[in-house]
Structure 1
C-alpha cells in the first residue's frame, strides 16, 4: 500500500510540475473520445432502422462474433458457376469397383438435339468418351481396358437418364398408408422451413419402379397443400447399400468450393391451399388471403435479409480486431430457405395453374426481388406467354402432357400447351407429379406432348436437358456429353414410341437391372410394318375441324368390322382399295366394290377422305369413368351427386340409376367423342357398397330423349365396390360387404320378382360389376358366384380394377369371370394391389400377359376421365409389349366388342350400329395404325351425332 501511495504521489508531481500542458492535452483527448462515442451511437441508432440493435460496445463474445463473421464471409463468397465446370473426370457418386462399360453402335439421342450413331464409354461414373460415326468413319473405336464390359447395341436407342422435376416419391410412398404420407405439413399455410429430405423413404417401392422407366433423377418436393410447402431434395434413383437419403442426394460428395450446392423450394397458389385451410376455418380461404400471406412472409424474410447485410456491412468497417458488436449475427431458422432464395442460392418451384395466379406470383417476385425458376402444372400458362416473360429471369413451365379437368383451374387446359409455349421461346419440361401420374411412364408423357405438336427434339429435351437446366444441374445430367454423369438409358425402341421400355438403365455408370449383355445385343421388339415409327406426317396446324352429312372414305388399309370380320387391303390399285360410304349417318357400303354407292352420293358433293392406308376401328367404349355425371370432379355443382348408402337386402327401390342423372354436351364428353370413344358405360357415383345401375349411352348425344338411340342399354350392370374404400359405420368391414351382397342376391333369388334388379343380377340377366383389386376379395367373389349357382342362380361377374387378378387367372377362366383392367398398367399404390407386376425390365411378365395366357376374358377400363381419349393407346401399349401373345384384332377387342359382350350391349336390336351396311355409322378412322403414337384421328362417325366429324381437334 505504501509503495502504491509513493508512486501515486510521483505521478501527481510530474503532472503538476514537469508537464504543465498535460491537463490541456487530456481535456482535448477526452473530448475526442466523447465525440467519437456520440457519433458512433448516432450512426448505429439513427442512420438505419435495421441497425438499431447493432451497438459497438463489446457486448457479445469473440466466438459469437467470429461465427457471425464466418456467415458474412459465406454470404460474400463468390459461389462456383456450374455452367463453367468442364473436364469432369470423375463423378463424386462413383462407387469403387464399378466396371467400365462400352456401349457400341448406339443410336444416341443426346438430349440437346443430337441424333447420331456412335460408341459410348462409361467410366468412373461419368461419360468418359464418345465417338460419333460419320458415314465413312465406322472404323474409329475407343480403346478400353481388358475388364471393360463391351456391349454391341446394334443401333438401339440410347438417351440420357430422364429427369423428373416434380415428384413425391418417397414422401408419398406406395402402397398408400397413413403412416407413409409425409407430403404436406398442413398445420400452417406457411412452412418454408420443412424439408423433404427429412421425410424421404428410400425403401419406397416406387423408387425402383420409376427407375425401371428410365428416370434416373427426381426432384422430390413437398405437396401443394401449403402456400410455402418447404424445401425439396434432388435424388438419384439408385439404390444404395446404406439406405441413406444423404447418399442418394445429387449433391453427395461434391466439393462446394468447386460446384454450387443448390437448394430447391416449393410453393403453391390457387385452389389447393384454399381448400385445405377453408376446412380449418383459417386464412387463406381466398386468393386474397393467399396474396397477403405470401407478401407478409416475404416481407419478414426480406427484413431479416437486410439486417444480415447491415450486420456484415458494419462488422466490415470496425477499425480494430478487438472491437466487437453488441448483438449476434441476425438469423432465424424458419426463414433460412427464404433467405437462400433472396441470395440466389435456391431454385423456386411454384405449383400454379390459372393465368391470374401465375401473374400474381410474378408480381410478388418483382416486388420482393427474387427469382422464380419454374411454374409447375401451369395448365393455363399457354394463354399468357407475354406475362410470363415479364419476370426478372427465364421461367421454365413444368407441365402435364394431357392431364386436365379434375378441378376448375385445370379445366381450360389444352393439349397444345407445350407446343404453344415452346413456340413462344419458353422452356417446357414434362413431369409426373408422382403418384398423381406414375413417373415410370415419364417418357410416355413426353411422347404424348410430341403427338400434340411439341417438336421431337424438344419432347426429348423436356425430360432431359430442360429439367436439368431448371434444377441448376445442367453441368452434369440431362445430356450425353463427355464429362457428364453416366446416367444412360438403353431403350427397346425410340423413347417417344408407344410402349417404349428401357432394356437397361445406368445410374452413375451402374446397371440397375442386370440385363444380360446378350439381351441388350440381340433383343428386338416384335413389330409389324404398321407399328414402325412414321413421323413424316403433313403439318396439320392449319387443319380445319368440320362436319359432313355424307362422306366417302377411300384407300383404307384395314377395317375391323367386328369380332369375326376384318377387311384388309391387299392391292395398291384404286379399284381394289377398300372404301366406306356414309350417307346421312348410315353405312351405305363397305369393301372394295362401292362404285355404285359412290356414284349415287357423288351428286351431293360429299367430302372425300383419303386415309392413305389408315385403319378403321369400331367406336371405342369407356368403362370406369364419371362421363355424363360429372364435369369437374372437385366442383359439386357440376356433379350428379352420390348415391345413398344401402344396407337393406330389400332395398331395390333405393338403387340409383345413372340414366336419371345424365348431362350431355359437357367438355369431358366432347373430348371422349373426338377421340373415338363413342360409348360410355357410366355407373352412379357412390361411397358405398351398392353403387347403382350403370347406363350405356352415346357420348356425342344431346339428351336422353334423342331419337337416334342415345341410350344403348338402360341397365348395363349393377355396380358394387368391395374393399377399404367403402368401409363406413354401417358396413365397417370387407366381410360385412361380401355378406351384404350375399344376402341381397340370395334374397332376390328366392323372393323377388324377375323385374327386380337384384333378381335380374342373380339370374344372370344383368351383370354384376365389382370394383376391387385384391386377389382375396376376388376369390371371395368367385365363391359367391359358386354359392349363387348352387341355389339355381347364374351370376355374371365383371371385375373392374383387377390389379391382382392374374394371381387367380386359372380360376377366373374356369368360372367365366371377366376382368376390366383399370388402370390398364396397374401399380402397387394400394395395400390391396401390392402384388402387381410392373413389367420389363423389373419383371419378365405382366399380369395381363398371364390373364391372356389363361384365356381370361379381359378388357381395358379408364383410370381417369381426363385419359378417356387415350384408350386406343392403352390397347396399343398392351399389344406392343405382349411379346406376340396378342394380335391387333385382340387389341381392338380390349376397347370395343369384348365390353359389348360383358355388358350385353349387342342385345338391343333397336341400336344396331357399327360397320355393317344399313347400320348407324359408329366408327373412328385413323390416318395410320391407331397403335402408333404418331397416328392422328382423321374422322369420327356416330356416337350420337348424325354428321361425321372430320379432322377433330383435341384441345
Structure 2
C-alpha cells in the first residue's frame, strides 16, 4: 500500500491504481534517510594505510632532524616515511631495508603547511580570460557550485606553492557572491592522471571508516554588495545581504524539514508498504541542507564587526555552525561576541599584516592574531592566493610572530590549527605516527626571515628531488653581515610589551654598526678602540663614533643600550599611492585617477603628483614607523594594483613620510621622474597595442627632444624616465628605444619599474646604464607577459634580483601594494639571505635606500647621520634581518621629535 504524507492524517490508498513512484525510487529515498541518520565516524583511530599511496614510492628515513612535535617544540629525532604515512617518529636507531636514509644534520622539520584559503587552480596562472573561474558573478546566491569542477590540475603555480612548504590547500570560490559555492581540499602534488579528483584529500578513502567533510564558502560585506548594487540588483546594502541570507537559509530549512518528515513517515511503514511521493530534494539547496545537518563546514569571508555579528545572528536563527571567519581583520575587536554567542569554537583565518586597501580592511591591527589567541580563539594564517603569494605562507607566520603571536601558535596557525578547522586533523597538520607523510625540511628555523624548504614530501613523495648530499650538507643559512660580530639570530621569538615615547635628546650606546651611506660604515670591527655611540641634542647630531663624551646633565637625555644593534639611514619607498591615497578603493580618500596623455604635443596635460599631496594618515604613519622616511609616488593611474590606464602617467614627487604639515618642509623633490606604462595590462581604447605604446613614447621623446618641457627634459636625461613594464621583449624594445633617442642627440635616463623578466637582459641593461626598480622581488608568473619569473629555491637556483645585481645593474626594490612599505627592510633582507652570497648586507640595504636615491636623483646629504645634521636614522636592537629584532628609535622623516620604541597598529 501507499501513503500520502501530505494528507493529515495519512490515508491508505490502493496501490494498483495510485502508484506515483517506483519501488526503486522509494528505496532510494529510504537509503537517503539511512545516510542522514547514520552515525558518522569520529576519525579517532591510528591510520595504518594511506589510500593516496603511490606504489613504488621508496621509504624515506630522515635522521637527526629537529622535528616539530605536537607540543610545538623542536625535538631531535628521526622520521620514517613509509607507504605514504609517517610510519614512525622517535630517537631510537632505525633500520629499514631498501630505504633512502638521509642525515639532515639538525635541520628543522615541520609538517606540511595547510593553506585554509586559496584560489589556486580556479584562478589559474598566467591569468587569462579563458582560465579565470573563481566567481560565478551572475547571481549572489550560488551555494550549489563546486570549486572541484573548475580546478585546473595543470596550474603551474601548484608546484610553486608547494615549493614554499604548502602540502594541502582548501580551494574556495571567490567572494563576489553571498554564497559562492563549495570548496575542495587538494594535495599540492601533481598526479599522473591529471585528475582533480585524484588530487583531492579524500581520494580513495573509505567513507564508512573515515568521516568526510564538505567545505562551503560564503561572503559578506563590501564584495557582494559592491558587485550587485552598481548594476541595480540586490544586494546593494548589508540589509539586502542579510535578507538574501535569511531567505535562502529559510528555504533550505524548509526542505530539511520536508526530508525529515518523509523519513519519519517512511520509518513507520512495514516492509510491504511505501510512500507515494519522492524523497524531497532540490539540487540548488542540497549543500545548504548538508550545512544544516552538520555535514559541511562553513567558511565565511567577513571583515567588519557588524558583518561578523550578522553572520553569527543568522547561524543562531537557522541553527548551523560557522567553522571559520576568513580575513576577519576586525575580529580582534569583538572577541567576546565570537566566543560567547555560539556553541562551537569559531576559527579566525586571517592575515598577519595585509590591510588598508578598502574600508573594511582599514581598521586592521598587526596585534590581531595575538589578541585573538589570548582570547583562546583559534587563529589560522592563510594566503587567499593570489592576493598574497601562497609560496610565502610561512612568512605570514613569521610576521605574526614578530607582532607578538607565540612561536608555537605561529607555527600551529599554518599546520595543526587549519587542519583541525578543515576536519582533517586526524591525518595532516602534525608529525605523528599514522599521519600522511607530508613533511618539510627547512634550510633554517622556519620563522626566520627567508626560511626556505630544501625538500617537501607529500604522501612520502619528494616533490623537488633534492639530492641527499644537499639535504645532508647544506649549511643552515646565516644572516648576511659585513660585521663578524653581528648579532646572532635570537631563538626566543617573544617580547614583553613596551610603550612608545618621544624625546628630542638621546644617547645611543653599545652600537654594533652604523650605515651612514654606502661609502661610510662604522662597525665594531673597525672601531676596536672603544664603544660606538651616537649623541643627539635637541634633534641635532652632536657626536657619532668611539670618541663621544657623555653629555652633561645626561639625566635629561633618553639613554638607550642597543646591545650591538644597527643604525641605518631612513628607507626610500617607491610606492604606488603613499601621499595620494588613504583607502585606494574609496575615491573620496584619494587624489583620483589620472587621465592618460596620448598626444606628444600635450606636455601641459601631464599630472604632477605634488599637486595632490596629502600628509598624515595611517599609511604614512605605518611606513614611517617601519623606517621609511622618503616616499616617491607617481600620479595614480589605477585603483587596482594589477593594472593601470594609459601610457604617460605623469610626474612623481618625493616627500618625507613623517611630516603632517608643510612645516618643517616635507618636500624632498617636487619633480622626481616622468612615468609611463608599457605592456598588455596597460592597453586602452586610444592606444590598444603595446607596439602603439612604444611608438607613442618614441615619437614624444624625439619630437620634444629640444623643447623646454618635461618630455624634452626626460629625453635629454635631465630627469629620469621611469617606465613600468615586466616583459623581456618589451624591455628589449625599450633598450632599443634608448639607443634611438641617443642617436637623435638625446641621453635618456631610462629606469625600468617592475622588471620581473629584466634578468633576461641583465648584461644589456648594465651596458646601457639602465636601472631596474624591482616590484615583487619574490614574483609569481601571474600574467602571460611574466611567465618567465624566477620564483626562487627550491625550483630555481637564483632570482631575478640576484642576476641583475651580479651583472652590476643598479637595482632598487619598490612596493607593489600600498601598506607593504613597512616591510621593505624584510624584502631587502630576504634578497640577501637567499642570494647564496651574491648580495651582501650592504648591497641589500642599498636596494631600499642609496640605490634608489641615485636612480631617482635624490640628494639627501643633509639627512646623513653626520655631526651638525638633523638626526635622521633608524636604530635597531639587533640585526634588522633577524625577525626577533625590533625598531628601537625613529629619528627624522619629517618629524621634529624622536620616537622611541615605535609600535605598528
2:94 maps to 1:142? yes
Could you tell me whether the CA contact under 8 Å between 1:618 and 1:915 is conserved in 2?
yes
1:549-568 equivalent positions in 2, closer than 5 A: 549-568=504-523
Kindly indicate whether residue 757 of structure 2 is the aligned counterpart of residue 804 of structure 1.
yes
How far, CA to CA, are the matches of 2:477 and 2:280 in structure 1?
65
- Quote the residue 2:434 is aligned against: 483
Q: Is the CA contact (8 Å cut-off) linking 2:404 and 2:495 kept in structure 1?
A: no
The residue number in structure 1 matching 2:604 is 653
- Secondary structure, in 3 states, of the residue corresponding to 1:127? strand
Shift of 1:85: 2.0
Q: What displacement does 1:505 show?
A: 0.3
Matches within 5 A, 1:93-112: 93-110=52-69, 112=71
Is 1:263 the counterpart of 2:214 in the alignment?
yes
Aligned to 1:722: 678
Deviates more, 1:660-669 or 1:723-732: 723-732
Q: Match of 1:445? A: 396
| Alpha-carbon contact 2:119-2:172 (below 8 Å) kept | yes
1:843 and 2:796 correspond:
yes
- Residue 533 of structure 1, CA deviation: 2.6
Question: What residue is the counterpart of 1:193 in the other structure?
Answer: 144
Distance in 2, matches of 1:79 and 1:536, equals 43
Q: What's 1:19 paired with?
A: none
> Structure 2: which 5+ runs fail to align?
480-484, 638-644
Larger Rg: 1
Q: Are 2:695 and 1:745 equivalent residues in the alignment? A: no
Q: Does 1:905 align with 2:858?
A: yes
Q: Secondary structure at the match of 2:681?
A: helix
Q: Which residue does 1:791 correspond to in 2?
A: 744
Relative to structure 1, the CA distance from residue 537 to residue 948 in structure 2 (aligned partners, 3 Å threshold; closer, same or farther) is farther
| Distance in 2, Cα, partners of 1:55 & 1:402 | 69
**Paired residues for 1:211-230 under 5 Å:** 211-230=162-181
Q: 1:531 to 1:489 in 2, by over 3 A?
A: farther
SS at match of 1:905: coil
1:23 is matched with: none
Instruction: Supply the distance in 2 between the matched residues of 1:422 and 1:291 (Cα, whole angstroms).
Output: 29
Kindly indicate whether residue 651 of structure 2 is the aligned counterpart of residue 693 of structure 1. Answer: yes
| 1:589 corresponding residue in structure 2 | 543
SS of 2:454's equivalent in the other structure is: strand
SS of alignment partner, residue 435 of structure 1: coil
1:643 and 2:598 aligned: no
Q: Does 1:702 align with 2:660?
A: yes
Contact 1:476–1:484 under 8 Å retained in 2: yes
Q: Determine whether 1:45 maps to 2:4.
A: no
CA displacement at 1:537 relative to structure 2:
6.8
CA distance in 2, matches of 1:943, 1:513: 45
CA distance in 2, matches of 1:180, 1:474: 32
> How far is the alpha carbon of 1:364 from its aligned partner?
0.5
Query: C-alpha separation between the residues in 1 aligned to 2:546 and 2:13?
Result: 93
- Out of 21, 29, 34, the residue aligned to residue 60 of structure 1 is 21
1:122 aligns with 2:76: no
Aligned equivalents of 1:418 and 1:454: distance in 2?
Answer: 6
Shift of residue 111, structure 1, vs aligned partner: 5.2
Contact 1:111 1:464 in 2 (8 A): no
Change (3 A) 1:613 1:537: farther
- The answer (yes or no) to whether the contact 1:785–1:795 under 8 Å persists in 2 is yes
Taking the aligned partners of 1:360 and 1:599, their CA distance within structure 2 comes to 60
Alpha-carbon contact 1:173-1:201 (below 8 Å) kept: yes
**1:4 match:** none
What is the SS of the residue equivalent to 1:946? coil
Aligned with 1:71 (options 7, 28, 32): 32
Confirm or deny that 1:546 pairs with 2:501: yes
Q: 1:952 and 2:902 equivalent?
A: yes
Residue in structure 1 matched with residue 641 of structure 2 by the alignment: none
Match of 1:381 in 2: 331
- Decide whether the 8 Å contact of 1:55 with 1:325 is kept in 2: no
Contact 1:129–1:142 (8 Å) recurs in 2: no
CA 199–53 in structure 1, closer or farther in 2 if over 3 Å, else same: farther
1:22 paired residue number: none
Deviations 1:226-271 (A, max 9, x none): 0000000000000100100000000001000000111100000000
In the superposition, the TM-score normalised over structure 1's length comes to 0.91
Whether 2:79 is the aligned partner of 1:90: answer: no
In structure 1, the partner of 2:121 is 170
* Residue 821 of structure 2: aligned partner: 868
**Per the alignment, do residues 111 and 828 of structure 1 end up closer, same or farther by CA in structure 2, a change over 3 Å counting?**
farther
Equivalent runs, 1:280-429 vs 2, <5 Å = 280-318=231-269, 320-389=270-339, 390-429=341-380
The 2-side partners of 1:218 and 1:112 are apart by 23
Could you say if the C-alpha distance between residues 945 and 647 of structure 1 is closer, same or farther in structure 2, counting changes exceeding 3 Å? same
Mapping 1:814-833, distance limit 5 Å: 814-833=767-786
- Secondary structure, aligned partner of 2:629: strand
Bigger proportion of residues as helix:
1
Alignment deviations for residues 71-112 of structure 1 (CA, whole Å, 9 cap, x no partner)? 011111111112x122x1111100000000000000001354
2-structure distance, mates of 1:664, 1:199: 45
Q: CA RMSD in A?
A: 1.8
1:920, distance to aligned residue in structure 2 (A)? 2.1
The residue matched to 2:126 in structure 1 has which SS? Answer: coil
Say whether residues 1:731 and 2:687 are aligned partners: yes
Deviation of residue 709 (structure 1)? 3.1
CA contact (8 A) 1:44 1:55 kept: no
Q: Relative to structure 1, is the Cα distance of residues 68 and 653 closer, same or farther in structure 2, using a 3 angstrom cutoff? A: same
Shift, 1:578, TM fit: 0.9
Pick from 898, 906, 929 the counterpart of residue 879 of structure 2. Answer: 929
Q: In the TM superposition, what is the alpha-carbon distance from 1:628 to its structure 2 partner?
A: 0.4
**Cα offset, 1:53, TM superposition:** 14
What is the count of residue pairs matched by the alignment?
890
Measured against aligned partners, the alpha-carbon deviations of 1:826-851 in whole angstroms (never above 9, x if no partner) come to 21001111001111111112111111
Q: TM-score, normalised by structure 2?
A: 0.96
Structure 1: distance between partners of 2:441 and 2:903? 34
Alignment correspondent of 1:758: 711
**Is contact 1:207-1:237 (8 Å) kept?**
yes
User: In structure 1, how many angstroms separate the alpha carbons of the residues matched to 2:70 and 2:702?
Assistant: 62
Alignment partners' CA distance in 2, 1:205 and 1:848? 22
Distance 1:413 1:243, change over 3 A: same
| Partner Cα distance (2:138, 2:557) in 1 | 64
| Farther off after superposition, 528-537 or 829-838 | 528-537
The answer to whether the Cα contact below 8 Å between 2:402 and 2:493 also exists between their aligned partners in 1 is no
Q: Which stretch shows the higher mean deviation, 449-458 or 789-798?
A: 789-798
Task: Return the alpha-carbon distance in structure 2 between the equivalents of residues 352 and 733 of structure 1.
Answer: 39
Q: Structure 1 residue 81 and structure 2 residue 32: aligned?
A: no
Task: Confirm or deny: 8 A CA contact 2:404 2:494 kept in the other structure.
Answer: no
Paired position in structure 1 for 2:642? none
CA distance in 2, matches of 1:429, 1:53: 56
1:580 counterpart = 2:548: no
Query: How far apart in 2 are the matches of 1:117 and 1:865?
Result: 42
Deviation at 1:650, TM superposition (A): 1.4
Per-residue CA deviations over 1:141-162 (Å, capped at 9, x if unaligned) read 12211x1000001000000000
Distance 2:13 2:42 in 1: 34
Separation in structure 2 between the aligned mates of residue 241 and residue 809 of structure 1, nearest angstrom? 37
SS in 2 for 1:165: strand
SS in 1 for 2:672: coil
| In 2, Cα distance between equivalents of 1:210 and 1:240 | 16
Correspondence list, 1:8-27, <5 A: none
CA distance in 2, matches of 1:417, 1:537: 17
